Amino acid sequence: MKNSEEYLYTRDIYGETLIELGKKDPDIVVLDADLSSSTRTAKFGKVFPERFFNFGVAEQNMFATAAGLASCGKTVFVSTFAMFATTRALDQIRNTICYNDFNVKIVATHAGITVGEDGSSHQALEDIGVLRCIPNIKIVVPCDAWEAKEAVLAAYNIKGPFYVRLGRARVPTVKEKKKFVFGKGYILQEGKDIAILACGIMVYFSLKAAQILRKKGIEVTVVNLHTIKPLDEELVVEMAKKHKALFVCEEHQVIGGLYSAVCEVLAAHYPKKVMSIAVKNRFGQSGTPSELLKEYGLTPEDIVNRVEETLQD
Amino acid sequence: MNQKIKELKKIANKIRKLIIQMISRAGSGHPGGSLSSTEIITCLFFEVMRHNPKDPHWPDRDRFHLSKGHTCPALYAALALCGYFPKEELWTLRKLGSILQGHPDRRTPGVDVASGSLGQGLSVAVGMALAARLDKKDYRVYCLMGDGEIQEGNIWEAAMSAAHFKLDNLCGIVDYNRFQIDGRVEEVMNLEPLVNKWEAFGWHVISCDGHNIEELLEAFDEAKSIKQKPTVIIAHTVKGKGVSFMEHVVDFHGRAPNEEETKIALEELEKIGKLLEEKDEEF
């Protein structure tokens, strides 16, 4: 089955998209902090060496410098691993990028548990949480490489600071994908019983889980909520109204991410049982991506089990 | 006395009076470091920098970034005297809805980038200097830092990168008044040998008396002439300069003068102003 599917690195497509944008717009500048071969910004650096700046291992300087460039009219793409982008440079992102509402587009790679063997220090699992409460920033978690491209283009086209969250591993292309509209989620498949709301690689796993559940007689709606901020509140409420229960799947801590965002909306507008499939307040560790997905309860089987347990209650 | 120097001294005195009045009316703020940086800001805004108060976003303007954001009363006074906004706005400092926030903010005409969280400003200036190079513009970028502030690691990351990128259009200034909130800099966290540090990071270093207009103007001229590397001016200053009971007094880092103190401070500055009007000799 794997053979019939396309597996791509989201970061490969990111690197290529940067070059496309760079050809079109001379005001695009790209910054990296010694990870340009991993984040693929090095591709841009090769084509546009004068508009690519490597800051070495100094993320705080890189992010505050991005603000300075943006203050002079540049659209600045800044890349490093999600861990170092969001926690090391959080003050710079909060006070100097977001407060000024600058055109700084943070495209971070290596987010989530599927970073794998590098272990906990490199597995950002709280990045959405720490950024989500900062005003002005917009957050997108694309489900595959082609949606990553759409997310990067949206970040380019829409004014202000952005966070686009990419992973390390190659990810399957989601065939059922719909047109990407920033700020709007979309339904991949409809079922009358429950709805699974997901982002990132969990969209693909949710579709797999829905297939298994269907065989067990449970009809599932699967929604891609790629834009975490601003959240598509209307769609979330609609899903709550139409289904017995909601399940939120994310490669992130249970605290602060998509689950929190969904619960915030529903608590105010349509109180409802919402269950989380996420990392449960634990740090990551070394292992292969598939081992880790199992260990942290993020596989299609885990989603199936959680749905069945909940419906039995 | 050279007429230009005398004029700048008069402006510095006006700025000092405004600093005292603004902070006194606001009831809070940071007089010590505002008063220590007064001549630096005066020289930049009234002599050194190319800028147009009628067109704050003029693409070719020299950039000024106040990395030590807490001493913004000095900057606000200078901006008002230049004509960026009406002087009356100064009395709204730190009030709800004011264009003059407690720390610099883009809602103030003449402020390009907000500051306040220390240590980030030199990086912002590096970004502005890189943008000048990309746009093939000849504007210069000035960044005023505090001495306590440069204890932040981010400053030294920025220092390393400015030299690496050979940003000769960038000029940093350290307001070396030797005090920070918790006491003397050398006791809280020693910076010395400071000149060696900047030199080791690849900068051209100029030390001068940060209250001496002639020395400051010479330093800024020298900075302009340095090629292939950034310049930092270590401006030796006095915290609370110009008001007898504030000089070298750490308490006035972040405390507003009360009514009585305000009166005395303004009388002292008024006297200096009168001497400047009447006499020609240096003092």
Distance from CA of residue A250 to its chain's centroid?
Answer: 9
Among chain A residues, CA nearest to B116: A95
CB atoms within 10 A of CB A157: 10
Q: Does residue A4 surpass a pLDDT of 90?
A: no
ipTM (interface predicted TM) = 0.96
Domain ranges (residues) in chain B: 3-278
- In sequence order, the 6+-apart residues with CB closer than 8 A to the CB of B155 are B119, B122, B145, B149
What's the confidence (pLDDT) of residue A286?
98
Cα–Cα distance measured from residue A78 to residue A247, given in angstroms and rounded to the nearest whole number: 33
Contact A100 B114 (CB under 8 A): yes
- B115 interaction partners in chain A (CB closer than 8 Å): 96
Mean pLDDT of chain A: 97
Fold (CATH) for A2-172: Rossmann fold (3.40.50)
| Average pLDDT value for residue range A62-72 | 98
Cα–Cα distance measured from residue A11 to residue A44, given in angstroms and rounded to the nearest whole number: 12
Say if CB B141 and CB B62 are below 8 A apart.
Answer: yes
What's the confidence (pLDDT) of residue B277?
87
| Average pLDDT value for residue range B51-67 | 98
| Average pLDDT value for residue range A164-184 | 97
Q: Residue B180 is inside which H or E element, if any?
A: strand B179-180
**Local confidence band at B281 (pLDDT 50, 70, 90 cut-offs):** low
Contact A71 B157 (CB under 8 A): no
Q: Does residue B97 surpass a pLDDT of 60?
A: yes
Cα–Cα distance measured from residue B82 to residue B51, given in angstroms and rounded to the nearest whole number: 10
What's the confidence (pLDDT) of residue B109?
98
Domain ranges (residues) in chain A: 2-172, 186-312
| Average pLDDT value for residue range A200-215 | 98
b/e B82-117 (16+ beta carbons within 10 angstroms → b): bebbeeebbeebbeeebbbbbbbbbebbbbbbbbbb
Give the residue numbers in B contacting A (CB under 8 Å), as ranges. Answer: 59, 63, 65, 106, 112-117, 119-121, 123-132, 134-135, 153-154, 157-158, 160-161, 164-165
Residue B164 buriedness (CB in 10 A; 0-12 / 13-18 / 19+): middle
Q: Does residue B280 surpass a pLDDT of 80?
A: no
Interval B116-155: pLDDT, tens: 999 999 999 999 999 999 999 999 999 999 999 999 999 9
Strand A220-224 to A186-189 pairing: antiparallel
Q: Is A55 on the interface with B (CB under 8 A)?
A: yes
Give the residue from B175, B129, B127 showing the smallest Cα distance to B154.
Answer: B127
Which CATH code fits B3-278?
3.40.50.970
What's the confidence (pLDDT) of residue A3?
54
- In sequence order, the 6+-apart residues with CB closer than 8 A to the CB of B99 are B85, B89, B92, B105, B107, B108, B109
What's the confidence (pLDDT) of residue A30?
98
Which residues 233-292 of A have a C-beta within 8 angstroms of B? Answer: none
Of A69, A91, A95, the CB nearest to B131: A69
**Local confidence band at B245 (pLDDT 50, 70, 90 cut-offs):** very high
What's the confidence (pLDDT) of residue A85?
97
Q: Does residue A63 surpass a pLDDT of 70?
A: yes
Interval A276-300: pLDDT, tens: 999 999 999 999 999 999 999 999 9
Output the six-digit token pair for B170: 């960038």
**B227 three-state secondary structure:** coil
What's the confidence (pLDDT) of residue A12?
97
Of B59, B124, B157, the CB nearest to A96: B124
Name the CATH code of domain A186-312 (choices 3.40.50.920, 3.40.50.10860, 1.10.3720.10, 3.40.190.10): 3.40.50.920
| Average pLDDT value for residue range B181-193 | 97
| Average pLDDT value for residue range A21-26 | 98
| Average pLDDT value for residue range A261-265 | 98
Examine domains A2-172 and A186-312 and report if their fold is the same: yes
Of B119, B131, B153, the CB nearest to A72: B131
What's the confidence (pLDDT) of residue A1?
43
| Average pLDDT value for residue range A9-21 | 98
E strands, A190-242, in order: 194-198, 220-224, 227-229
Q: Does residue A73 surpass a pLDDT of 90?
A: yes
Residue identified by tokens 């609370």 is: B240
Interval A101-120: pLDDT, tens: 999 999 999 999 999 999 99
pTM of the predicted model as reported, rounded to 2 decimal places:
0.96
B5 vs chain A: nearest CA distance in angstroms? Answer: 32
What's the confidence (pLDDT) of residue B16?
98
Cα–Cα distance measured from residue B34 to residue A58, given in angstroms and rounded to the nearest whole number: 30
Contact A68 B157 (CB under 8 A): no
Among chain A residues, CA nearest to B103: A95
Contact B130 A73 (CB under 8 A): no
Q: Is A29 on the interface with B (CB under 8 A)?
A: yes
CB pairs under 8 A between A and B: 103
Residue identified by tokens 């400092």 is: B93
